[in-house]
Every structure is written in C-alpha cells, then in structure tokens.
Amino acid sequence: MAQSPPMEVLCSPLLTLDELGAGLASLTVTVRMGSTGVTHAPHCRQVGKKAAAEQTLTVGELRAAGQIRPCRTCGGAVIQKLSDSQAKQLNALIPILETRVEAMRQAEREQRAQRERVHRADTIDKRAGHIVDGGSWKIAAERKYSDRYPANPRAAVVPCSDCDAEATIGFQPRSLEVTYACPAASTHGFLRLDDDEEPLATWPHRQPNRLVALSLVAPVLAGQDTSWALTYGTRVDDYQGTISALETFDQEHPTQLRLTPDIRCGDCGGPLNTWPGTTSEEGQHKARYSCDNRHEDSRYRSHEKSRVDEEIDWILHRRLHDHPSWATAPELEPDEQQVATRADDLARKISIFDSRVGAAKAVAELVETRARLAQELSQVTRIREQGALATAELPRYASGPASYAPRWEFTSLARTLLTTRIDVTKQAITVITPLDDGTPLHRLLRTREIQDELTELRHRQRTLEQELAALDRN
C-alpha cells in the first residue's frame, strides 16, 4: 500500500474500469485538476494557480475525463471513506498493478537497450562501410585502431560477379585491406577504364558481396561489443533468403501482366534495370537504365533514363499521330483475370518479404524492393477499379489536343501498354508496338477505322442523294 496509494490504483491506465469493478468506479473523490493532468486534494500546497476549481466526482467520471496523474505529496484527492468490501477490492488490485508496472518498466528498459544496441551497431556498420568502400579519407581515421585488431585475416567465399567460379572476399584487419579474388581471372570483379588508372572495384556494387564484406570487417571493429552481431549477424542470410524467396515465388507464379515497359539492352538483349536517381552529399545523380552484363569491350551499359523516355515518347507520339484514338483501343486493356491474379500475387509477395527480411530490412536495395511492391500493388488495385487505359491517363491523350502537340509525355504505364519491346543502344532506340504496321491489332484497328469511315461516307452519300432528289422534284 505504501508504494501504491489508492488514487494510483484507481486511476492507473494499466487497470481497466472492468477490473476496478462497479464498487470502486462509483467511489467519489474530491479533486482540483492541474493543467498538466496532475490532480490534487483541495488543501494541497502544490496546487498551481491555473488548477481548476474543486470538484467532486466518481472514479469512473474522473477516468473518463482523460489520463491523470495523482500528486505524490497529497495523494491526488480526498477520497470518500471506503467500505470494507471496497477496501478489500482495492487491496486485491495492488499486487496486480505492481506486477504490471514492473513489466512495463522492464519493457521500456528493453526497448531503450535495443535502441542503444542498434545505434552502436549502425555506427560500427558505417565504419565498416568506409573500409569496404576504401579510398576515402575516413579510412585514415580507422587506421588509428587497426594495430589492436587480431592479425588473422578473415575470408568468405562468394559466387564471382563475372563468372561461375567461386571468388574469395578477404579482409586483413591490421592493414584494413579488403580484397576480392577470382581463381579464373585476376581482372574479375574489377573494371579497368584506362590503363593508367587503378582498376576500379565493381564487386562491392553487387549488394550481397558488399554485405558479405561488411560481415567480415564489422565484427573485427566491434571486438567485445556484441551489438553488431546481435543486430546484423544474420543480415547476409536474411538478404539472400528474402531475394530467393521472392525469386521462387516469381518462378512459381509467372505473370503475363507487365507493369513497366520491356526495355532491353540493344547490345546484349539483357533487361535494362531502372536505377532511380539519388541526391546525396556527393551530389545529384540522374536516374538511369543500366545493363548488368559486362560486354565484349568489358564495359557496362547505362543510359540516362529521362533521355530514353523522351525518345520513346517521341516515337509513340509519331506512331499515334494520325490515329490518337488507337491509344484507347479496348484491345490494349489487359485481361481482368490477370490483373486480379497479379493483385493477389503482389499482396502475397509483400507478406513473404515482411516475414523473411529480418536483419536485412534496412538494406537499401530491399527498402527499394519493398517500396516498389507496395507501389505496384496500389497501381494494380487502381487498374482493377478503373481499367489500365484510364490509370495510364491514355483517354486524356486520345481525346485531348495530343495530335497537335509537338511532344507528349506518356506515363510509364502508358509506355508499357503501348509497347511490346524497346531496345536501347548508345546510337539508337527501337520501339516495337502492338500497333505497328502488319500486326493483328493494327489490321483490326485500321479495318474498324475504314469501316467507320465508309459508314459515314454512305450516310453522307444518302443525305446528298436525298437533297438532290428533292431539288429535282421542285
């Protein structure tokens, strides 16, 4: 009773009104309510000038008025004398409340410890990142500690980023050197842009490799501190697990419904991945389409996204110039069943992702994957409700002043619906559309257009003949 005066028990949000019971809820108390939610007995010296006037109300009414805290000096109220049964009920609640208060404090302590642990782990992870990325002035700061580290090198085997061999990522704690070695060729994992320059490491840009390298470096920096291991110890596995769970799902649930254009590298035929632009302390980088295959000239291909999109739009605009209404041909609308299936699949992928991602949830690539899945699901939901053509804003194109506009910016979904495949090289962009001459859709739409025109002409002819006949009769 000493630790939990009656008002603490009566007003605690950790006990429900039901638990108090009608007997205690109807107990009357006389209080002055302070502006910060602290209640006082009317005579209390701690009552502030802004406190409300004295009032007498039941415990139930007081609790309904919002969360309150009883003053520690006066006990928070003058309480009506308790009957024997009320006193008994109150006493029975005290140990229950004390257990709950202790559990709540424990949970708070754990949360605080957890936050501190994640913060320490992040700091270590960031420092490890400087070492893995190398070359930065920040690595010089790390050298101050390196002679304390164990001398034993650490290593992990990974699939080579350039061939099928098993490459080794190594870390020398004393020299802070992170290395990549493929037994097939010493150039693998590196790109030599110019003979005079150091070869550029490409392997850290493959997300899993970088995570593996971090997991070699970070535990050395952490030493006795277990925060990194507890927070990120399973990150490589969680990353791989998430990626392969999503891949397995995709293999088992192939979809015919594309939500982004089929844009390909014109040099190797591989898909071009969209790399979203970034704005960071190092400056602004524009969004790009890039091919992840190394080509015969040992280079990767990458194209500025806005330029490619502009060119695609220009080609589509020209193709639709004489027939803007073709942009809303019902035949372009995807199959309803496919749309419904895609919505279900996306919802399932999101739940697979969430249950699998664990310690890898802050990995930038996965953050992006999660955001893309959510965005695709909301797009598919809109397609389900309004249709794809409307979602793609194509009616605006077909009915608007499009054919007179010198340029037109299509939405990404519009580019998807209006194209079959797009090939991009440095020199040219080739856009294949379902509306191209000779395609079944082109034949169908042109036939329909000609028939409509003939119907109109026949109607016009009839009108003219009737007029002529009328003239003859007069």
Residues that bind Zn ion (CB under 5 A): 40, 44, 46, 71, 73-74, 160, 162-163, 165, 182, 184, 188, 265, 267-268, 270, 291, 293, 301
Q: Which of residues 106 and 187 has its CB atom nearest to Zn ion in the complex?
A: 187
Helices (H) and strands (E) in the chain, counts: 15, 18
Q: Which of residues 28 and 202 has its CB atom nearest to Zn ion in the complex?
A: 202
Q: How far is the CB of 167 from Zn ion (least distance, A)?
A: 6
Q: How far is the CB of 40 from Zn ion (least distance, A)?
A: 4
Q: Which of residues 44 and 418 has its CB atom nearest to Zn ion in the complex?
A: 44
Q: Which stretches of 224-294 are DSSP H helices?
A: 227-232, 235-252
Q: Which of residues 268 and 287 has its CB atom nearest to Zn ion in the complex?
A: 268
Report the amino acid identity of residue 256.
Answer: Q
End-to-end C-alpha distance for the chain, whole angstroms: 116
Q: Which of residues 163 and 390 has its CB atom nearest to Zn ion in the complex?
A: 163
- 3-class SS of residue 239: helix
Residue that is written with structure tokens 């000038």 in the block: 49
The span from the CA of 328 to the CA of 281, in Å, is 44
Q: Which of residues 160 and 435 has its CB atom nearest to Zn ion in the complex?
A: 160
The span from the CA of 318 to the CA of 88, in Å, is 87
Q: How far is the CB of 53 from Zn ion (least distance, A)?
A: 15
3-state DSSP helix/strand/coil % of the chain, to nearest 5:
50, 15, 35
Q: Which of residues 48 and 223 has its CB atom nearest to Zn ion in the complex?
A: 48
Q: How far is the CB of 221 from Zn ion (least distance, A)?
A: 29
Q: How far is the CB of 42 from Zn ion (least distance, A)?
A: 9
* Six token digits for residue 271: 């898909």
For 192-297, list the strands marked E by DSSP: 200-201, 263-265, 273-275, 278-280, 283-285, 288-291
Q: How far is the CB of 302 from Zn ion (least distance, A)?
A: 10
Q: How far is CA 468 from the centre of its chain?
A: 70
Q: Which of residues 46 and 355 has its CB atom nearest to Zn ion in the complex?
A: 46
The span from the CA of 235 to the CA of 127, in Å, is 17
Q: How far is the CB of 47 from Zn ion (least distance, A)?
A: 6
Q: How far is the CB of 104 from Zn ion (least distance, A)?
A: 24
* Six token digits for residue 258: 């594309």
Q: Helix axis angle, 235-252 relative to 364-386, nearest 10°?
A: 30
